């Protein structure tokens, strides 16, 4: 699995962010995307070998002195955990 940020645009309230998860053929053959149906923070688009996670991140959600770069790392970890749960 390879996770890449494919969109990062500043919008009025924060940032529009998109990550793509490219699955190997082996991962694609055994993935169960049902757990993704219950995720509310992202718009999720599932294609055969790619899962795209889109979200609008509100700048007001950053904690004191937190930078968006640190939050992007956490979002990427969250997405990896979500996809890992679909591969079990």
Residues 6+ apart with CB under 8 A from 16: 7, 8, 9, 54, 55, 56, 57
Residues 50-77 pLDDT 10s: 999 999 999 999 999 999 999 999 999 9
Name the pairing type of β-strands 43-46 and 50-58: antiparallel
Domain spans in the chain, listed from the N-terminal domain onward: 2-86
Between CA 30 and CA 56 the distance in angstroms is 30
CA-angle at 46, arms to 39 and 87, nearest 5°: 70
Verdict on whether the full-model pTM lies above 0.75: yes
Phi first, then psi, for residue 37 (nearest 5°) are: -65, -20
pLDDT, tens digit (0-9, with 9 covering 90-100), for 10-22: 999 999 999 999 9
């Amino acid at each position: 699995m390879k996770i890449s940020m494919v969109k990062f645009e500043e919008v009025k309230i924060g940032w529009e962010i998109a990550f793509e998860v490219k699955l190997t053929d082996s991962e694609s053959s055994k993935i169960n995307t049902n757990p993704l149906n219950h995720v509310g923070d992202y718009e999720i688009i599932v294609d055969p070998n790619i899962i795209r996670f889109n979200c609008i991140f509100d700048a007001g959600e950053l904690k004191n002195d937190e930078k968006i770069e640190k939050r992007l790392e956490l979002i990427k970890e969250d997405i990896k955990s979500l996809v890992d749960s679909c591969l079990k």
